[in-house]
Chains A and B, each alone.
Chain A
Amino acid sequence: MTSGPTAVIASWEYRNAVRARWVLTMAVVFGLLCVTVTLLAFRTVRELGLSGIGPASATLVNLGVLLPSLMGLLLGAGSLAGAREQGLLAMICAQPLRRSQVAVGAFLGLTASLWTTLGVGFGVAMLILSGVARGADVPALVTLIGATLGVAAASVAIGVAVSSIVSSRVQAVAVAVGLWIVLSLGVDLALAALAPSVHMGPSGLLTAILINPLESGRILALLGTNFEGTALGPFGAYLITTFGRWGTVGLLVADLVAWTVGPLLLARWALPRKDL
């Protein structure tokens, strides 16, 4: 998928995003939150006489889903729409390249910058956790980081798609924030309200999860901390029984990939149809 202009745009976006102060600020905030959560969980572990990283990683799961998704959506949403308002997108798209390459390049560069940001936060947390981690905790940590990176990539892709469709940066950011609220809270609240009345079974619940990349990432990360799925209750048992352990992981990973590729295809379709 990567070609010359795509790589050039990706490199440019990465450099600009890393240099932007708010990305650096978010890296520091995310790092501090990770450290705080880890230290608090570490204290609990010691007070209860437990070993392992379970309490810390369980809290990191929510942190790793909510904050990176918001950052990804905002980064993606501001990219093309912002460049369009600045006239820079017109100057770039007047070059001998395809606009789809601009959309994909922006996605790659922003995702790489967000992954760098997350790497800083997780890196510090992992250093602290390494004091209590056991060998058996490694898969949980790897799954947690993988799920977070997956959610981040999907969020950037959704943001880029939004950015390629709407008319202004303000609109793009508003849509991104609205989407984040819906995906992080709205779907859960709707499910809590509807599930009892519509008698939503496990398959209905699975569908509700698959249509929400944040939920897919969260379930994936939780499965990493508890591979038997018992932490997810009866629903976890349903997943493991129906799809098997690796099948469930594969299903959730495929869902995150679909939530990344789908919006990118939408951006590739929409941007060339936009007057600049």
Chain B
Amino acid sequence: MPEGRPRESAASVGVAVPVEVRHVTKVYRGGWGLHDVSFTLPMGVIAALGGPNGSGKSTLLRCMAGLARYEGEVRLHGERLDARPGPRRAIGFLAQTVILPEHATIDEVIDLFARLRGADPQRLPLPAGFLNAGTDRIGELSGGQRHRVALAIALVGNPTLLLLDEPIASLDERGRAVFWEMLATLCERDGVTAIVSSPSPSELRAVADVGLFLDDGRLVREEDFSGVGATIMHPFPSDDEQVGS
């Protein structure tokens, strides 16, 4: 019996509009960041991005979010994600470490990102009690509460592709449960696709549909947790291979 959250059918995930990552390669001065990473994901799934420290998880998410230059391409709904602002409207990104200004209030931070996206700051898909929005200053919040604010930022404007770099690291047990429930709802109800990184993806196995495992910048393993064929991942032939065949 496969692990993962229960799914009713592959049709509900809208497989016609995949996330495409094709031959993404990132080279740092010290060596490979990512080495020819390719996969596709249907909409409406949670993908766990696993791998040891330094395996390229954050680099992959940053490349997909347009924050790092790379070779290859990333497409969402068939449209290439790059430096242009328009396509990035569909992305919600959470950095691994975010230090928000201590003197700013929660509302001000949310409002900043809502205005940047032209979105309504009041319409966040957050469950009741997840975030005590209001006039509390960031400096008065605990580490976990600050992390919740950062998570809320990633959800501003109802993005269809969530790129979350270790989103549960600072959350307590209850916070994690609420977060996973919220994410599952977003994926199933709104067709949002989420790629969630974690150095220890065992927890993600219970909630994710698929697992993508990186090691030394390479995609070394893919797992279908949900077992309903909701994910169809296949490496794309490289241009050289296409020419050769």
Contacts and interface: CB of A to CB of B under 8 A. Distances in A.
B98 A91 contact: yes
B104 interface: yes
Given A12-B112, A87-B96, A272-B83, A94 B66 contact: yes
A4 interface: yes
Contacts of A272: 83
Contact of A88 (B88, B96, B99, B163): B99
B117 A90 contact: no
B109 to A, nearest CB: 9
A96 B95 CA distance: 16
B28 to A, nearest CB: 9
Report, as a range, how many residues of chain A touch the other chain: 20 to 34
A16 interface: yes
A93 interface: yes
A46 interface: no
B69 interface: yes
Nearest to A16: B101
Contacts of B88: 94-96
A134 interface: no
Interface string B133-176: 00000000000000000100110000000010000000000000
B117 A96 contact: yes
A189 interface: no
B69 A275 contact: yes
A177 interface: no
B99 A87 contact: yes
A166 to B, nearest CB: 16
Contacts of B118: 4
Chain A interface, >50% SS class:
helix
B85 A94 contact: no
Interface in B97-148: 97-101, 103-104, 108, 112-113, 115-118
A32 interface: no
Contacts of A20: 103
A94 to B, nearest CB: 4
Q: Which of A5, A8, A19, A94 has the most CB of B within 10 A?
A: A94
B150 A91 contact: yes
Contact of A95 (B95, B97, B117): B117
A90 B83 contact: no
Given A87-B97, A90-B62, A91-B150, A276 B117 contact: no
A86 interface: yes
B225 interface: no
Q: Which of B68, B95, B97, B104 has the most CB of A within 10 A?
A: B95
B40 to A, nearest CB: 22
A22 to B, nearest CB: 12
Contacts of B30: none
Interface in A84-118: 85-88, 90-99
Interface of B: 62, 65-69, 83, 85-86, 88-89, 91, 93-101, 103-104, 108, 112-113, 115-118, 150, 153-154, 163
6 contacts: A86-B99, A91-B93, A96-B85, A96-B88, A275-B68, A276-B62
Top 10 closest pairs, chain A to chain B, by CB: A94-B93, A86-B99, A87-B95, A96-B85, A87-B98, A275-B68, A96-B89, A276-B67, A95-B116, A94-B65
